[in-house]
A and B are shown apart, each in its own frame.
Chain A
Amino acid sequence: MLGRGLLKGMRVTLKSFFNKKETLQYPEKKLPMPARFRGGELDLDTKKCIACGLCSMACPNHVIELTTGTNEAKKRYLKSYVYHSGLCLYCNFCVEACPTNAICWDKNYENSRYFQEDLDVDCLAIAEQKDTLKGRDDG
């Protein structure tokens, strides 16, 4: 019969009309991100970091800028650590390159900014602020 294909197509859309809806009511409900999700900003753990600079060398796009210094005990320590999130490709090479698992993703994908300067994240300052807050809570 001429037009049978059209009628079958109409039946598909009608069935779809009564089916469950796939919409997620964001921002009231948010989808959980899987464990390996690469997104947000880098979360630096200063206690684990040995200031080797491997993350900066592995990065394809010169996103991580770090400066190191040596203290009196001839041990290297981190002086500054800036993560240029605007240049980042989210390729995960830095996280994989770190020998001590000092950096990981903070998985916060709602991190848009109004000004371009705010895209440069000072990970060391954030880590130190978190440490002082934790110190205040513990002590």
Chain B
Amino acid sequence: MQEITSLFQIAKILRELLGRFLPDEQLVDFCMSLINIGAIFMIISLTAVVLVYAERKVSAFMQRRSGPNRVGPKGTLQSVADMIKLMAKEDIMPTGADKWMWMLAPMLLFIPAAAVFVVFPFDDKAIFADLNIGIFYFIAISAQSVLPFLMAGWASNNKYSLVGGMRTVAQMLSYEVPMVLSILGIVMLVGSMRMSSIVAAQEQVWFIFLQPIAFVVYVITATAEINRAPFDLVEGESELVAGPFTEYTGMRWALFFLAEYANLLAVSAIATTLFLGGWNGPWFPGWVWFFLKVGGMIFLFMWFRWTFPRLRIDQLMAFGWKMLLPLALVNVIVTGIGMYIYNFFS
């Protein structure tokens, strides 16, 4: 069954179809790339819409409420109603705001969130670009999402936003380092940074069993990178109203929101690829397993958000630098020693 419905087969069918209408081989390749880009954008937008609804339902169920259940069957069209409402809102710009920086910040936040999707292995040979520096590309591009927060915070001409922007930079930069080190353990085990080789190396045993500490460190740092509770003091609603996003309304705020959910999908996909075996799995096609595992990780992140209170800024910095960084370093050392002993005995 995996052979018939895998994405590779679907791509082959599409390619044959196009080959019949288009004369040139390169034109067919170009059209396939456009279809791939379209598919990825569709996944991102669909995800944002679905995740908004899922977040509200999960949070409601955990608080013994029902969540949205009026708009559409069981409330599924709630996100559509929200988008329409946001598009109809008045666009206000604060006086004294630095116009171009203020307007560019949401867009610059959305672009890295979308650009990392090219290296995700949705299925066997179904990656848009199987770069040989796959995971390194992800780390580099996702580090770019620090700057738009600072831009938004500074350009809004608002003290709350500035404090929020400063906190964001401190938080996101401090948690990049342990995240990279936790990923380093995986790269050492596989010997390559290519995403498809990482998934292929997990055919027998998933890396979560070989690198449990790295998994824990990754999950914690990923929560900090995407600014979700318990690390959401950037937009800590009860302290700073909304941090860097305070002055954004309507569609601009919707872009921030979408970028946040795209980021959530991105880190869940990376966690699935690195630790949970990617698209490996019996009976079902690869992409079904991929999305099931990604869904499980997303539920885990939502579970964290609705259970835990927020950390204070100094506790957050202390935790990142004094607890997670040494833990990640120790993991790298232990992995190295373990690999040497394994190679020595086999």
Contact = CB atoms under 8 A, between A and B. Distances in A.
* Chains A and B touch (C-beta atoms under 8 A apart): yes
B65 A17 contact: no
Contacts of B66: 21, 23, 25
A119 B100 CA distance: 51
Given A10-B303, A13-B303, A14-B303, A21 B308 contact: no
A12 B307 CA distance: 9
A16 B303 contact: no
Contact of A19 (B60, B64, B304, B306): B64
Contacts of B69: 25
Interface bracket on B: 10 to 19
A9 interface: yes
A13 B64 contact: no
A69 B264 CA distance: 75
Contacts of B63: 16
B62 interface: yes
B41 interface: no
A21 to B, nearest CB: 5
A138 interface: no
A14 B64 CA distance: 11
B284 interface: no
B65 A23 contact: yes
Interface in A16-51: 16-23, 25
Listed residue (A6, A17, A19) with the most chain B CB atoms within 10 angstroms of its CB = A17
Interface residues of A, number: 15
B64 A21 contact: yes
B61 interface: yes
Contacts of B308: 6, 9
Contacts of A18: 61
A21 B307 contact: no
Contacts of B303: 10, 13-14
A14 B317 CA distance: 29
A20 B64 contact: yes
Interface string B62-85: 111110010000000000000000
A9 B309 CA distance: 11
Contacts of B60: 21
Interface in A69-88: none
A17 B61 contact: yes
B307 A13 contact: yes
B311 to A, nearest CB: 12
Nearest to B309: A9
Contacts of A12: 307
Interface of A: 6, 9-10, 12-14, 16-23, 25
Given A6-B308, A13-B303, 10 more contacts: A10-B303, A13-B62, A14-B303, A16-B62, A17-B61, A21-B61, A21-B66, A23-B65, A23-B66, A25-B66
20 contacts: A6-B307, A6-B308, A9-B308, A10-B303, A10-B307, A13-B62, A14-B303, A16-B63, A16-B64, A17-B58, A17-B62, A18-B61, A19-B64, A21-B61, A21-B65, A21-B66, A22-B64, A22-B65, A23-B65, A23-B66
Interface of B: 58, 60-66, 69, 303-304, 306-308
